[in-house]
Homo-oligomer: A and B are copies of this chain.
Amino acid sequence: MQKKRIAIDMDEVVADALWKFEQLIERDYGKIFDRKAFSGGKIYDMFPDGQRDKVRGYLFDKGFFIDLPVMENSQEVIRELSENFEIFFTTAAMEFRHSLEDKYDWLLQNFPFVPWKNFVFCGDKSIIRADYMIDDHVHNLETFQGKGLLYTASHNINERRFTRVNNWLEIRAFFREECRG
């Protein structure tokens, strides 16, 4: 039987992009940014107008995406899921030209058991056909025709329409239930 397919987002789902923002903010502004201290938005939206563009601009820098920490338990859970599901990494990379090679190298390094055939770099995820999508952005799940799982991030905490997952252990539990059902 054909395995069902899971499309997994990268930033703030398997890659801790927020960590990199924290490092760069500390470098440029000399203050440690506490991720628990903001909620309901993007980290760069916590800055006043003059600084917001500079902070969001980190995303355009070569190297931003290359050394992001892997989200806790994501490697072991995805390895386990890959036994019963087809795993695709689907990431909105196209706004950031310099992210392409960084994201490619990062995936090969951190998820060597997922073949490059299953990497998808796109701009608009409504182009994705899969059975499940795990993503922190509501707009990606809104256009998805399969079952969407919303990975909790500060900017989506007020959303109620999708099945919410707070970490990779909850994702493991969800799919164990799906396999049973």
On A, residues with C-beta under 8 Å from B are 5, 7, 88, 90, 93-95, 97, 100-101, 104-105, 115-124, 126-130, 145
The main secondary structure of chain A at its interface with chain B is mixed
Bound CA span A36–B120, Å: 34
Specify which of B119, B123, B124 is in contact with A123 (CB 8 Å cutoff): B119
**Nearest-CB residue, chain B, relative to A129:** B129
Bound CA span A7–B100, Å: 21
User: Are the CB atoms of A116 and B94 closer together than 8 Å?
Assistant: yes
Q: How many copies does the complex hold?
A: 2
Given A100-B104, A129-B129: A117 in contact with B124 (beta carbons within 8 A): yes
User: Are the CB atoms of A97 and B90 closer together than 8 Å?
Assistant: no
CB distance from A103 to the nearest CB of B (A): 9
User: Are the CB atoms of A88 and B127 closer together than 8 Å?
Assistant: yes
**Nearest-CB residue, chain B, relative to A98:** B101
